[in-house]
Amino acid sequence: MIQHQSKLPEVSPSIFSVMSGLAHKHNAINLSQGFPNFKSDPKLLKLVTKAMQSGYNQYAPMAGAMELREAIATKFEYLYNTSYNPESEITVTAGATQAIYTIISAFIKQDDEVIIFRPAYDCYEPTIALNGGKTVSIQLEAPTYGVNWEMVKSKINNNTKMIIINTPQNPSGTIFSKQDMLQLQELVKGTNIIVLSDEVYEHIIFDNEQHQSACLYPVLKEHSFIVASFGKTFHNTGWKLGYCCAPKSLMEEFQKIHQFNVFCVNHPMQKAIAEYISEPQHYVELPSFYQQKRDFFLNLIKESRFKITPSKGTYFQVLDFSAITQENDVTFAKRLTIDHKLAAIPMSVFNENETDYKMLRFCFAKTEDTLEKAAAIICNL
Ligand code: PMP
Ligand code: GLN
């Protein structure tokens, strides 16, 4: 057998693969990995076919189809009244994951420190480690997951190269306020710290809250990469299409890596999405679409023994099961899948030292029929 030294000795298959695999094996309703079980807009699918039939089947330009970059720039103007130059400040990527991987690879060197907030989405830390960086975690506490910005300030030193934020936040379902963004802006002002703002759920935000994009804050914008995902936004997670935006000098560094990482991404889908997002209603209607799903699900489980703090954004709902069992969350998640045929994600995997808070994350991007079946199981626990 070939001997090798793992570059990620601590890493095993992600919780999303594990729980979706278990759900499949045991024929359980899968509310674990985050993906919709309904079809996306037939109009969008037709646009992909049209693009393929029109011959857009060869490499796209390295930074992305120009129509799509222009449409993204228009969307920023429409939603946030700010602009990115499609020539030099926007790159289309193979999902948000590749954007995140490439941003971290472009800027993080040996011993650089990257601040992240926990519970955190799973792809940040391994990518930082692969590049020799050190993750500095700030653990946030349920149910508010509020940030103590003085504490963040105390973690910043000469090695701090990047801060990663994620609002609306996966897995907690919380959002950053305007006040949070102003505090962050104050912290990075006058420094060389890069902010990676993971905004893949920008269109999935509830109760009339406004998404606090990093681009809304001029100083913050100068420091930031904004990352987005068309897969998440338009119910096609399997398309793996996203983008990132940043000031020109940062984007130039990004593209040095991007061109050797993937060079370019799926061309016909870029053409289709360019046309699709030129009609703002396609993204403006998303918050109410998903809020309806959240409310439908929460109404069905309101008499259950789970403790509910309604999600403020994302298509995830965290539920506290401490009144049901004292098992740890990983054990409970597995038992729920195998014995009760309902899969969810244990929250501990996103926390520092895998702290068990007796919580599970459920994805409600599902049809009403599926949510009803899942709720019946939840109410019987
Ligand atoms: N960031 C967060 C917070 C996510 O939840 C996800 C999963 N959608 C991603 C990044 C990756 O997005 P994509 O599927 O477009 O790679
Ligand atoms: N973003 C999805 C989630 O949080 C998972 C994506 C993946 O499987 N890597 O469930």
34 Cβ below 6 A of ligand 2: yes
- Ligand 2 centre from 24 Cα, in Å? 16
170 Cβ below 6 A of ligand 2: yes
347 and 360 in contact (C-beta within 8 Å)?
yes
- Ligand 1 centre from 220 Cα, in Å? 22
Who contacts 9 (Cβ-Cβ below 8 Å, separation ≥6)? none
What is the full per-residue pLDDT of the chain (381 aa) written as tens digits? Answer: 999 999 999 899 999 999 999 999 999 999 999 999 999 999 999 999 999 999 999 999 999 999 999 999 999 999 999 999 999 999 999 999 999 999 999 999 999 999 999 999 999 999 999 999 999 999 999 999 999 999 999 999 999 999 999 999 999 999 999 999 999 999 999 999 999 999 999 999 999 999 999 999 999 999 999 999 999 999 999 999 999 999 999 999 999 999 999 999 999 999 999 999 999 999 999 999 999 999 999 999 999 999 999 999 999 999 999 999 999 999 999 999 999 999 999 999 999 888 899 999 999 999 999 999 999 999 999
Residue 283: phi and psi, rounded to 5, are -110, -25
d(CA 201, CA 340): 30
In this structure, the residues whose C-beta lies within 6 A of any atom of ligand 1 are 95-97, 121, 166, 170, 198, 200, 229, 231-232, 237, 240, 242
Task: Please give the full DSSP string across 307-343, using - where no structure is assigned.
Answer: EE---SBSSEEEEE-TTT--S-HHHHHHHHHHHHSEE
Q: Hey, where are the domains in the chain? A: 15-36+285-379, 42-278
pLDDT of residue 354: 86
| Strand-pair category, 29-30 with 342-343 | parallel
d(CA 262, CA 275): 23
Residue having the nearest C-alpha atom to atom 2 of ligand 2: 34
- Ligand 1 centre from 173 Cα, in Å? 14
Q: Which helix or strand (DSSP H or E) is residue 255 part of?
A: helix 248-261
174 and 312 in contact (C-beta within 8 Å)?
yes
Residue having the nearest C-alpha atom to atom 8 of ligand 1: 232
CATH topology of domain 15-36+285-379: Aspartate Aminotransferase, domain 1 (3.90.1150)
Q: Which residues pair with 227 in a beta bridge?
A: 198, 244
- The whole model's pTM is what? 0.98
CATH topology of domain 42-278: Aspartate Aminotransferase; domain 2 (3.40.640)
- Ligand 2 centre from 100 Cα, in Å? 14
Q: Which atom of ligand 1 is nearest to the CA of 231?
A: 15
- Ligand 1 centre from 337 Cα, in Å? 23
- Ligand 2 centre from 160 Cα, in Å? 27
Positive or negative, the CA dihedral 83, 87, 88, 91 is positive
d(CA 51, CA 44): 11
